[in-house]
Amino acid sequence: QRQDQTGLVKIDTINRISVSKLDFTVPLPDGSPRKVLDGFSFDFSGPGTYCITGKMEEEKNALLYLLLGLYPSAGKVTYNDMPIEKMQFGLHTFRHDIVLPPQPCFAPDETVRDLLDYFNTPFFTKHQHMNELPSLTTSIEGLLEKTLPELSGGELRRVYLWSAISRNPSVLVLDEPTTGLDETSRAELASYVRNNKLKQLIIIVSHDNELANAAETIVSLDNASHRCANR
């Protein structure tokens, strides 16, 4: 790890994300508060694959965003035992160390090829680790010259998923990644997670049973006494 002139720390390779006593509350439509996380603690260690499950979308989304430092919370989040507030988070970190599929962007005249170039993940069929996802790669190749408005929601999600995985980050975070995928691509993604040949820390939020069963550890938010189930 390195410290910059502001005193913030840049970690070269993240292999552990720990959360301790996380509390998080969301407002209901009537304005009343609802606690969705109540003292949640867990260690995500790499290499390893984890699937976060639960009936409440608010719980899963809150935990995901708290892990990434996108929401403030009572409690503690550390990366390699470094408190998240002391870390140097920026574009470099989220492009190279921690990767989520990119957020949708409005670019009506851009093609899929242009978008992948913009994300610094130009389409290249010989990414060695993408050989595990041939159906996804083939589908993206067929979309390269289409403009973004021509894509369906499922096609656009596949483009974002391919971009995220192709970066080969130390931490890969996937939020409901099988949405919009066909059966073959879902099976390939489950195999990618199960094999974890790149020895990544993979954290998934999903209700897809096939993908959940591919993970080494299930982190359930439904029952505080049964939060972790190792495979």
Which residues, including other chains, have CB under 8 Å from residue 79's CB and lie 6 or more apart?
11, 14, 16, 17, 87
CA 75 to chain centre: 21
| pLDDT score at 12 | 64
Cβ burial, residue 140 (10 Å; 0-12/13-18/19+): buried
CA 221 to chain centre: 17
**Confidence bin at 214 (pLDDT 50/70/90):** very high
Asked if residues 63 and 40 have their Cβ atoms less than 8 Å apart, the reply is: yes
**Confidence bin at 222 (pLDDT 50/70/90):** confident
Q: What is the pLDDT of residues 131-185, one digit of tens each?
A: 899 999 999 999 999 998 898 888 888 998 998 898 888 889 898 899 888 899 9
In this structure, how many other beta carbons lie within 10 angstroms of the beta carbon of residue 102? 18
Identity of residue 137:
T
For the entire predicted model, the pTM comes to: 0.83
Asked if residues 21 and 105 have their Cβ atoms less than 8 Å apart, the reply is: no
| pLDDT score at 203 | 93
Average the pLDDT over each of 12-16, 65-69, 92-96 and give the range with the smallest value.
92-96
What stretches of 91-152 show up as alpha helix (H) in DSSP?
Answer: 91-92, 112-118, 134-141
**Confidence bin at 225 (pLDDT 50/70/90):** very low
